Structure 1
Amino acid sequence: MMSTPAHATALHALPDEAPIDRDAAMVAVGDLLAALGFDPDEGDLAETPRRVADAFIEMITPEPFEMTFANGDAYDEPVVVRGIPFVSLCRHHLLPFRGTATVGYVPGDRLVGLSKLARVVAHHARGLQVQEALTVQIARTLETALEPRGVGVVVEAEHLCMSARGVRTETALTMTTVFRGALATDPALQARFIGARPV
């Protein structure tokens, strides 16, 4: 197995190609409120443009972190973390979608701290997303950073663009999955990944 490139052991914030203009975002929120028939200077709405701009900035800004370390004991069984909560922002409606992710891998030469699997989810959830892309991005990051023998990602989420508007399917959950390597080709391993549940 090839050694993991040094550059793959850290996950960084996205390139700052289009810096965020907080002041312009606040003005835009005020303009939106006015266009919807509200007075953005009235009472408790006066601070809404700032609050909304800051909330969006927080939800689209990933946090960098260090990720992997050597698998010195040659551990070769699946590592799975379930029930990782996340909130992301739908790129079609700018409404949140939220849910949980199950993320795991079959190790090769490197391991990742268990909390870092949750950080990978949070990192990619920070942005304008669709669930399918989020699922693939999590898997791709683990593949690149760990060069594992297999990767599995299962994401289940409620989308407010479906549950709070439109068809209003309040109890509907959307599931997306990605299985790569041994988890895609070994049914027994995949069954263990999907079937294990916390006691």
Structure 2
Amino acid sequence: MHNELKQGYENIITAVGEDPNREGLLDTPKRAAKAMEYLTQGYRQTLEEITNNAVFTSDADDMVLVQDIELYSMCEHHLLPFTGRCHIAYIPNGKVLGLSKFARIVDMFARRFQIQEQLTHQIAKAVEEVTGATGVGVIVEAKHMCMMMRGVEKQNSSMRTSVMLGNFRADPKTRNEFLQLIKG
């Protein structure tokens, strides 16, 4: 994959009218290919691999919230970055997930070409699948370079998406508790 990406970046540099042999661009295709491999590593990861058996038996049955997990992703429409943060809450049902695994789940799905709506849904379904939770709530807030650097060029715009599963969807009190907790 690396050589294909490197060649692709060389082609882009040439197509925009630059000289790929210019000193400042000489190693750019190699560096850009390496960066793209990193930014898309989520395609080469599995949920089982990243959670690494860090699911533990627990009597906890109250809401667990992990908030302000930063994320960096690439818009699938323009291949431009979007950055933001993710808030995840769940109601355990006999199992809890190791804390760092929430960030790993976010990263696995964010490090793919994405739309924010899909990213939010994938995170929620993954937490539900791994924990067997009775409810999961996920909110993602992000700023999209495809809207800031090009097109309408709106610098202060942001997008907020949410997915509520199980108790978070069915019970307004649970959903409201989640929303109040992330407000601080």
The TM-score, its normalising length taken from structure 2, stands at 0.92
Cα drift, residue 119 of structure 1: 1.1
What residue in structure 2 maps to residue 138 of structure 1? 123
Residue 123 of structure 1 deviates from its aligned partner by 1.0
CA contact (8 A) 2:61 2:94 kept: no
Distance 2:93 2:182 in 1: 24
- Where do 5+ consecutive residues of structure 2 fail to align? none
- 2:146 aligned partner: 161
2:78 counterpart residue number = 93
How far, CA to CA, are the matches of 1:145 and 1:80 in structure 2? 16
1:12-68 alpha-carbon deviations (Å, 9 max, x no partner):
xxxxxxxxx111211111111111010011011111111111111100012542154
Residue of structure 1 equivalent to 2:69: 84
Contact 1:67 1:116 in 2 (8 A): no
Query: Which secondary structure state, in structure 2, belongs to the residue aligned with residue 123 of structure 1?
Result: helix
TM-fit CA distance, 1:71: 2.8
Task: Look up the match of 2:28.
Answer: 48
For residues 96 and 84 of structure 1, do their structure 2 counterparts lie closer, same or farther at Cα, with a shift above 3 Å needed? same
The reply on whether 1:70 has 2:44 as its aligned counterpart is no
1:4 aligns to what?
Answer: none
Give aligned-pair identity as a percent.
35
Runs of 4+ aligned structure 1 residues displaced above 4 Å come to none
Deviation at 1:198, TM superposition (A): 7.2
- 1:151-182 CA-to-partner distances (Å, cap 9, x unmatched) read 00000000100011110111111011000101
Instruction: Please identify, of 60-69 and 22-31, the stretch whose mean Cα deviation from structure 2 is larger.
Output: 60-69
Amino acid of the structure 1 residue aligned with 2:127: L
Contact kept? 2:56, 2:98, Cα under 8 Å: no
Per-residue deviation, 1:115: 1.4
Q: TM-score, normalised by structure 1?
A: 0.86
- In the alignment, the residues of structure 2 paired with residue 166 and residue 69 of structure 1 have an alpha-carbon distance, to the nearest angstrom, of 44
> Does the C-alpha gap of structure 1 residues 36 and 167 become closer, same or farther in structure 2, counting only changes over 3 Å?
same
Task: Name the structure 1 match of 2:17.
Answer: 37
Give 1:125's aligned residue: 110
Q: How many residues align?
A: 178
Which structure 1 residue ranges, 5 or more long, are not aligned? 1-20
- Structure 1 position 126, deviation (Å): 1.0
Q: 1:132 to 1:54 in 2, by over 3 A?
A: same
More deviation in 180-189 or 56-65?
A: 56-65
Secondary structure of 2:26's aligned partner: helix
1-structure distance, mates of 2:160, 2:23: 42
Deviation at 1:110, TM superposition (A): 1.0
Superposed CA offset, 1:121-161 (max 9, x none): 01111111111110110011111111111000000000100
CA RMSD of aligned residues (A): 1.3
Q: AA paired with 1:145?
A: V
User: Deviations along 1:76-109, whole A, 9 cap, x unmatched?
Assistant: 1110111100100111111111100001100002
Distance of 2:35 and 2:167 partners within structure 1: 40
